[in-house]
Chain A
Amino acid sequence: MDAYLISVGTFAALNVILALGLNLISGFCGQVSLGHAAFYGVGAYVAALASVNGVWFPAALAAGVAAAAAGGVVTGVASVRVREDFLAITTMGVGFLFLGVVRKAPWFGAEMGISKIPSPLGRSGYALLAAAVAIGMVALSLHLRRSWMGRAFDAVAQDEDAARTLGIDVAGYKLIAFLIGTATAGLAGGIYAHMTQLVVPDAFSFVASVTILAMVAVGGIGSTWGVVAGAVLLTLMPELFRFINDYKLLVYGGLLLVVMRFSPDGLAGLAGRLGGVRVR
């Protein structure tokens, strides 16, 4: 395979990881987050910083995961305190806060970001790593749906107060959802940083968060295979149709709008209505 295909495939796998992580938080557990790219960014920045300072690659990735998960738990604590629309805006705020700090902080390289990150793997090495993590995420999502925890997430998403009445630890499950979703985003960030050898603030902006949300919403929020399809589709679209590269955001935004307006449950819902298949 040529280098181009491998790198597109790696990005598709990274986006699957990010989208499934967000789907776990917003789809399974019902906590809408508008700042998922911030955790991707935390993972990328921390792993990059560690690697630049000579830390062993797996340890650097682990540091990124730990930092993103820590940020996720803090945000999860916020989700226990504030609900629904308040939470959506709070997570958006977390995204802006992260961006505002890395843009100014000299140890994060400010606007220039971190460059010359050591790259211990080859091109196909990153592709295999990302694909393995993505497959792991799919397996986890499918398993969670059928597990006790998945049903508890669902109860929290459907009706928090009713779930609490049934003795479900609402706060605990919200924290777990945020923990898993953001830790995996951090891992994706670490892989991304080493693969591209450069991290800059703009890669993790609000638009990036919206793009991840777009993958989840277009695929069908809550549906694992739908979200995988959404992530792959939105990654490949600009590549397949080079001519829309100039209008990338127009198409992204338009697609979000059209899907929400005409098929609010996304591709998964569409497949259900047209083909009679229930997409998990």
Chain B
Amino acid sequence: MYYLELLVVGLVWGCMYAMMALGLTLVYGLLRILHVAHATVFTLGAYLGLLVANATGNLALGFVAGAIGAGLLGPLIYRLIYQPILARPPHVALVASIGLLVAMEDGFRLVFGPYGLAFAHNPYMTTTWSLAGITVNTVQLWIVVGAVALLTAFAPFAVRSRAGVAWRATVSDPAMAESFGVDVIRVRYLAFLMGSVLAAVAGVLVGLLNNLVEPGMGNVISYKGLAIIVLGGLGQVSGTLVASLVLGVVESFGTIYLGNVMDRDAIAFLFLVAVLMVRPQGLLGGAH
């Protein structure tokens, strides 16, 4: 039962990573940019969600506000920062993205204070559900249900809808897609928007889970998100989802077995380095 519990906790984290990493992989697939500043979207979503929920007393409204407000930040980042430097070497966009993340974290600290904020009404963290000997709280349940629902909604969209086909065409060959009449710019905005909405929702959920929203809450998750998209074989959606769940479970078991040698984040990156040494193209990636 103990191992089963570890597995469940790992899968919950994995679902959360998946919501975060999907946006990173969408952006990377289209633009070859490691979008570290995705963490800013995550944190802004959490702050907006918390502020609106506390002001109105309605958590659903908080989720909507976070998703819309932070969701729009993604396309804005693309328009103002990435678009003008797309032709530059890859490190330029990466450094700019890190700069934005670092500056915005300090910005959050200056505006909202360094100690973080808590939800005024958060019974979800302590309400627990038991099934077959496994206990999870409501927020953990939401994370799993939310991730599964949002990602399942995404699948047919990516496979069947016009926008999804346009996205996949642009990933595999931007020039060819454009000459067939795909509006490449629109596809990019859409990718940033969808990825950002997912990250914002994940931000509110993590805020609820810890009952704490703080300036740096998105950082480590975003670094791990990058590790995940690398593990998944950069720019591959299915690989990213598998890698998210695997990393969540590896971390969960790792803290038990390696917890006195290294911390949780180091375990995640040890796993990353180990996998890349054996499979440089990632877990599911094909040969280059």
A-B contact count (CB 8 A): 145
Nearest chain A CB to B144 CB, angstrom units: 26
Inter-chain contact A92/B101, CB cutoff 8 Å = no
Q: Does A101 contact B (CB under 8 A)?
A: yes
Residues of B within 8 A of A73 (CB): none
Verify B100–A89 contact, CB threshold 8 A: no
Q: Per a CB cutoff under 8 Å, which of A84, A96, A103, A247 touches B90?
A: A84
- The binding surface of chain A is classed by DSSP as helix
Segment of A144-152, A249-257, A271-279 in the binding face: A249-257
Which of A81, A97, A255 contacts B277 (CB under 8 A)? A81
Interfacial chain B residues near A104, Cβ < 8 Å: 259-263
In angstroms, how far is the closest chain B Cβ from the Cβ of A217?
5
Q: Report the separation of the CA atoms of residues A82 and B234 in the bound assembly, to the nearest whole angstrom.
A: 12
Q: Which residues of the other chain, B, contact A253 by a CB distance below 8 angstroms?
A: 98-106
List which B88-108 residues lie within 8 A (CB) of chain A: 88-96, 98-107
B273 pairs with A90, CB closer than 8 A: yes
Question: What residues of chain A lie closer than 8 Å to B177, measured between beta carbons?
Answer: none
Task: Determine whether the beta carbon of A85 is less than 8 Å from that of B230.
Answer: yes
Q: Which residues of A contact B94 (CB under 8 A)?
A: 32, 88
A86-B280 in contact (CB<8A) = yes
B270 at the interface (CB under 8 A from A): yes
CA distance A143 to B45 in the complex (A): 50
Interface size on A, residues (CB 8 A): 45
With beta carbons under 8 angstroms apart, the residue of B89, B96, B230, B261 that contacts A256 is B96
> Using Cβ atoms and an 8 Å threshold, which residues of chain A touch B263?
99-100, 103-104
Specify which of B85, B98, B265 is in contact with A213 (CB 8 Å cutoff): B98
Interface digits, B142-183 against A, CB 8 Å rule (1 contact, 0 not)? Answer: 000000000000000000000000000000000000000000
Q: B106 contacts which chain A residues (CB < 8 A)?
A: 247-250, 253
When the two chains form the complex, which single residue of A90, A250, A257 contacts B96, counting CB atoms closer than 8 Å? A257
Give every chain B residue within 8 A of A101 (Cβ-Cβ): 261-262, 266
Residue of B nearest to A84 (CB): B90
Contact (A249, B102) CB under 8 Å given A89-B34, A97-B266, A97-B269: yes
Asked if B48 lies at the interface with its beta carbon under 8 angstroms from chain A, I say no
- A199 close to B (CB within 8 Å): no
Q: Does A94 contact B (CB under 8 A)?
A: yes
Residues in A whose Cβ lies below 8 Å from that of B260: 104
Q: List 27 A-B contacts (CB under 8 A).
A: A32-B91, A81-B276, A82-B276, A82-B280, A83-B280, A85-B230, A89-B230, A89-B272, A90-B272, A93-B272, A96-B268, A96-B269, A99-B265, A99-B266, A101-B266, A103-B266, A104-B261, A207-B102, A214-B95, A247-B106, A250-B110, A255-B99, A256-B98, A256-B102, A257-B100, A260-B95, A260-B96
